[in-house]
Structure 1
Amino acid sequence: MNSHVPIERLDAPASRTRHALDPLTPAEIESVIALVRADGRIGVTPRFWGIALDEDVARHLPADASRPVRLVVMNPLAHAAWEVTGWTATAADAARLHSWTPVDAKRPGVSSEEARAVGRAVRADAGVLAALAARGITDAAQVWVDPESITGFEPEGLTERRLSWATLWYVENPEDNGYSRPIPGLVPIVDLETLEVVKIEDHGVTPIPPEIGNYGSGAWGPDREVSALDIVQPNGPGFEIDGHRVSWQNWTFRIGFTHREGLVLHDIAYTDAGKTRSVLRRASINEMYVPYLDPDPTAYRKNFFDWGEYGAGPLTSSLELGCDCLGEIRYFDAHALNGDGEVFTIKNAICLHEEDDSVLWRHVNGRTRNSEVRRSRKLVISAFATVANYDYGFYWTLHQDGAVELEVKLTGILSVSGIDDGHTAHHGRMVAPNVQAPIHQHYFGVRLDTAIDGEINRLVEVYAESEPDDSLNPWGNACRMVETPILDEANGGRRADPSRALHWRVESESTDNRFGDRTAYRLSIGDTTNLFVKPGSIVERKAPFVAKHLWATPYDPAERFIAGEFPNQAPLEAEGVTAWQAANRSLDGAKLVLWPVLGVHHYPRPEEWPIMPVARIGLRLEPDGFFDRNPSLDVPAGVPVSHCAHHGDGKCDC
């Protein structure tokens, strides 16, 4: 990595006042947790799963006021859990609690602290040790344990317990890639409350893969030669930061962070001709669902709600040690609550920087040979989450032409299974000796609270077809765009179809452009997938929201998550957006919430082993009648540099 930015310049400056939507501070979190700890009902060994700002109430509060929060606390000895609401402390007011609402004790998410406790319990269990010995493993310290959510696959007789099942990995040396050597056929099932191994499934001894699968520098020979590439902004960055508020070009927005969703953007707006115009009230990755499509006994249970069962916030990675961003970077720290009720800080959790983005627009006048070229730059707000073997990057991008993009980057290590000598991977690919990578999918449930020129919006589906009226199509080449307003929730689940150029338009209900059309933004979802399972299967029933590529609902502060409030060990029936649709509320002239679903079908390749090059999926919001003309006409021409001189016209295209 090459960057001239000194480390002391990487911290975002503090604001004079805290905005009501800013992420919770450690002091605020601790002020509420202290009151919860003082309540006798949580017992002597309480466990916690997240604390979050109640944004709907907080949005209307003045700066630096006490803020409303909600958190989940469990008493594992009493098989009890509660969602607790309260208010944070300020310089003027003490923290206070408001309510304790019982929650099904099985259903809160699993913290990293609980996961580590499961690992200790598995490595200490006599039955597991005997099964490991039968596979030639006599040192339990050489076994990694990944506790996995079990939703929908609870064994008979254990359905009322709070459970986890474990995948096991063999690691000879601490620096080895443990995810390259699964221990096949051995599945311990653990009671998360008592930390007992309550069942052991042993499907027979299969050879442990021989290759350690390391991927560090030099592991597969000398590194190649790579020339230096410097990102230089001699005048500093083009954005300004005030606390968590960011201004760049004509854009303004606020950076947020939650336990469940991680990075959140608030109040995205664009200033046009001196007027600030709203675009999105809120944007986040709301849920991630990862089903594995392989009947292998150590793979068929792999079906995870990574956000609802674990939480994006505590899984967010620190970016300070990597080369995740280059140039004039500004980082934002994040604070989360661990499973023991302690606040921890994720240093440099969110990255803010500008990137060159090739040509913004260009034309050569064929008669005068005069050319006009503008280079594009974009502002990127990004974060990474590490979910055991996989790493996911979330990149929100603002463009100079008024577009907003989300790109999800998938990398890390494939979750693999062991396979016996001479066997064929029918539902996956061989990636190493005795190692198969199952077919699987990744679904990202996005949440967009739209605010196109105001909070009241309308959703319209648009697709192309050949003009059916022969009188309007004498040459057979006429194409028309068919527009269908989506007026109620009964029609609020939609499917993408690139073959028909299908997209959706979100229109303002109060503002017209100079052509008399409603100002609007266009939502496009590119390459996405379907769920390839049998109807009625556990996988289908567990996550019914993946059946559509877009859902629309009217805003309701109680409807926060596409898969429901507590998906861990939830019943296999509609919760979340598919349950809300049953009310068939009107979407006409509503405060809209859109829930795009991005689906990656992952048929693994040997080239993705032992570590996976980045794969990408995303969506794009672009102005569609929001402006009266190209809004980037005011972008100045670039200054040519020496290596562009051969173009002759002094304009730089690349």
Structure 2
Amino acid sequence: MSAYAPTQGKAAASSHPLDPLSREEIDAAVALVRADARTGDRLRFWGATLDEAHARAVLAGAAPAGDRKVGLVVMDYGNDAAWEVDVLLGEESRILDWRAIDPRRPGITSEEARAAAQACRENPEFRAALAKRGITDVSLVMVDAESMGGFVPDKYKDRRVTWGTVWHRVDEDDNGYARPVQGVVPIIDMQTMEVLEVEDHGVVPISEETGNYDNGLWEPDREGLAPLEVVQPEGTSFDVEGWKVTWQGWEFRVGFTHREGLVLYDLTFKGRSVLKRAACNEMYVPYLDSNSTQYRKNFFDWGEYGAGPLTNSLALGCDCLGVIHYFDATVLGGDGVGRTIPQAICMHEEDDSVLWKHTDMRRDVGQVRRARKLIISNFQTVANYDYGFYWSLHQDGTIKLAVKLTGLMSASGIEEGEEAPYGRVVSKNVQTPNHQHFFGLRLDTAIDGPLNRIVEEHAEVEPDPEKNPWGNAVRTVRVPLLNEKDAAQRNDASVSRHWRIESAEHTNRYGEPTGYRLLLPNTTIPFSTPDSVMARRAPFTHNHLWATPYDPAEQYVGGQYPNQAEPGEDGVQVWQQKGRSLDGVELVLWPVIGVMHFPRPEQWPVMPVEQIGFMLEPDGFFDRNPAMDIPAPTPHCSTESGGESACCGS
């Protein structure tokens, strides 16, 4: 059973400076830009973004209450120009600033991608290449316009260009991603929508096997699955007021941005601050195959497309199970029209097994507490892949993020019987390449206040034999990272490396700075050679953790505009060369978690969820277990078939 929470919490007009932009605000900002004499009639937009630094100033009383500052990225195709435009919304709405930027650099909009695909379908050279492969109905051909960073030919270096991956469908209901058109690569000018050229690397047979995944297509539905109902007869344990949530000692605000999608603000636990901001800040996906339709594939999915416009509407009882509270979200389309994504963010409670337990065998008595967690989630679809981001808050003060990867693997064509040295054959004439997914996170820390520092911790055997006569003495080694140049770190599970974020102002009763511990399990490293485009485009993936002092100009770990950027010109690896102090500052952590995806036939035609994540847990933040106040579970009885009734606590 699934149901809406008693208050559905559909966010209306903004009432707090950090509330996400409403559709009315987005439309008002766009109208100001369109009315300006500097713009032409062929405008495209890449996002409307709330200026969070200004919002913080409003909260602090340093800017007028009710004012909202919005940043827009505007492209004028008619004049080969692009700008960043700052708009003030309030009693006297107006344009504040107008800054020219390289017109090649803004991200690719869905509207542009659709127009580019249609331009290909209408192009004679493209149609001729398809005809060589027996494809004459171009209406059934899919073209994904993909970013070309690092691989733009010199002759097109001054153009805003993309390249297309091509797929064929046998009918309107077919899954085209199962039938790659190998060897055909159109290159498109995204301003003029001109197909500049069509590469043809040779004909490879197109798969005849279906890749559809409808019920009953592959085999009859599995029988015997009894209903599993999540019932909360007294309602949920959380309270929602607009975008503000309180639950089990936690208080925080839900946010949403064009670039990152779901954002959490101002997380406090039991009245003490933990994080100022948390989000998945960037996603980088390099493909590790040198074939003609794969070697260019390397995408900043957030920086080149944006998580906001790719966000799904979540379905009750399908994406979210239980008693659900939804938040709608609003995004700015490339055409300059604001649109609402219903049920973009899902929030619900889940049982999480045992929180703590002990049985005193001498007295034959025991106590147990059930754990519960609050999950705030959303899903993005980036062409073939689907990504779920599940932030969970726990009753012991722990914060976790689970990233769930599913959807369809990107495929290329292959000759029958040919080996796939850099991937895996998963269907007739279909191989899927090895690739990686890197998720660059942003955590603005506020452990017991705004001023924090970071300490690397690992295990080390005591080297002095006099102190370690039995060889089992192991120290916790703590290395303060007092300069941002020292804070570029790699995980090392062999020494149990983790990081402690400490308050610079408060200590616990043991004299230690209060803190939280950051753990990044099971994360990979890049495998591209150091001189490769992939390695040079995304240097932030070379480490698992970066740290910088807060600077409102440093917003995105991979750089402000990665599309057609000079590899490595912007991003955290550039900022941290300033060598700023990290000792008692407003600290921003940039953890990087990565998956090395070796494809499996079992992931075809659609992937079961693969998961990666991180954890932030109290470490000396409290003087004892903070979950001692969780009430004992109410006894519940169950009777197995043919057995006797058994009750918890009886």
Q: Assess same fold via TM > 0.5.
A: yes
1:320 to 315, 318, 324: 315
What residue number does 2:81 align with? 80
Counterpart-to-counterpart distance in 1, 2:29 and 2:229: 46
User: 3-state SS of the aligned residue for 2:586?
Assistant: strand
2:151 to 146, 150, 153: 153
| Amino acid in the other structure paired with 1:243 | G
Alignment of 1:14-53 (within 5 A): 18-53=15-50
1:344 to 322, 339, 343: 339
User: 3-state SS of the aligned residue for 1:59?
Assistant: helix
More displaced 10-residue stretch of structure 1: 245-254 or 490-499: 490-499
Alpha carbons 2:5, 2:325 under 8 Å: kept:
no
Aligned-residue offset at 1:72: 0.3
Aligned-residue offset at 1:642: 1.7
What residue number does 2:397 align with? 402
Alpha carbons 1:152, 1:569 under 8 Å: kept:
yes
Aligned-residue offset at 1:647: 8.8
What residue number does 1:415 align with? 410
May I ask how many residue pairs the two structures share in their alignment?
642
What residue number does 1:513 align with? 508
What residue number does 2:54 align with? 57
Do structure 1's residue 181 and structure 2's residue 179 form an aligned pair? yes
Alpha carbons 1:10, 1:329 under 8 Å: kept:
no
Q: Residues 14, 390 of structure 1: CA spacing in aligned structure 2 closer, same or farther, 3 A cutoff?
A: closer
2:489 to 485, 494, 497: 494
User: 3-state SS of the aligned residue for 2:323?
Assistant: coil
Aligned-residue offset at 1:554: 0.4
> Structure 1: which 4+ aligned runs deviate by more than 3 Å?
7-10, 13-17, 644-649
Aligned-residue offset at 1:173: 1.5
Do structure 1's residue 393 and structure 2's residue 388 form an aligned pair? yes
| Amino acid in the other structure paired with 1:250 | G
Do structure 1's residue 220 and structure 2's residue 218 form an aligned pair? yes
Counterpart-to-counterpart distance in 1, 2:14 and 2:144: 42
1:51-75 CA distance string (max 9 Å, x none): 1011011112159602011110001
User: 3-state SS of the aligned residue for 2:273?
Assistant: strand
Alpha carbons 2:637, 2:648 under 8 Å: kept:
no
Do structure 1's residue 570 and structure 2's residue 565 form an aligned pair? yes
RMSD: 1.5
| Amino acid in the other structure paired with 1:139 | D
Aligned-residue offset at 1:471: 2.1
1:480 to 472, 475, 484: 475
Aligned-residue offset at 1:345: 0.5
Structure 1 segments unaligned to the other structure (5+ residues): none
Alpha carbons 1:13, 1:241 under 8 Å: kept:
no
Aligned-residue offset at 1:11: 2.1
User: Given the two structures, how large is their TM-score scaled by the length of structure 1?
Assistant: 0.96
User: 3-state SS of the aligned residue for 2:38?
Assistant: helix
1:255-311 CA distance string (max 9 Å, x none): 00000000000000011xxxx100000000000000000001000111000000000
Alignment of 1:401-550 (within 5 A): 401-550=396-545
Q: Residues 641, 436 of structure 1: CA spacing in aligned structure 2 closer, same or farther, 3 A cutoff?
A: same
1:119-154 CA distance string (max 9 Å, x none): 110100010011111110001101011000000001
Counterpart-to-counterpart distance in 2, 1:322 and 1:390: 22
Alpha carbons 2:12, 2:22 under 8 Å: kept:
no
What residue number does 2:110 align with? 112
Aligned-residue offset at 1:14: 5.4
| Amino acid in the other structure paired with 2:400 | E
What residue number does 2:206 align with? 208
| Amino acid in the other structure paired with 1:336 | V
Q: Residues 503, 8 of structure 1: CA spacing in aligned structure 2 closer, same or farther, 3 A cutoff?
A: closer
1:461-481 CA distance string (max 9 Å, x none): 000011112222111110101
| Amino acid in the other structure paired with 1:521 | Y
Alpha carbons 1:10, 1:331 under 8 Å: kept:
no
Counterpart-to-counterpart distance in 1, 2:385 and 2:529: 26
Aligned-residue offset at 1:34: 0.4
User: 3-state SS of the aligned residue for 1:607?
Assistant: helix
Counterpart-to-counterpart distance in 1, 2:472 and 2:419: 51
Alpha carbons 2:637, 2:646 under 8 Å: kept:
no
| Amino acid in the other structure paired with 1:540 | A
Counterpart-to-counterpart distance in 1, 2:292 and 2:481: 43
Counterpart-to-counterpart distance in 1, 2:122 and 2:380: 30
Counterpart-to-counterpart distance in 2, 1:166 and 1:16: 40
1:158-177 CA distance string (max 9 Å, x none): 11100010011101122211
| Amino acid in the other structure paired with 2:41 | V
Alpha carbons 1:644, 1:651 under 8 Å: kept:
no
What residue number does 1:552 align with? 547
Alignment of 1:160-309 (within 5 A): 160-225=158-223, 226-271=225-270, 276-309=271-304
| Amino acid in the other structure paired with 1:203 | H
| Amino acid in the other structure paired with 1:83 | E
Q: Residues 76, 94 of structure 1: CA spacing in aligned structure 2 closer, same or farther, 3 A cutoff?
A: same
Counterpart-to-counterpart distance in 2, 1:14 and 1:187: 44
Aligned-residue offset at 1:79: 1.4
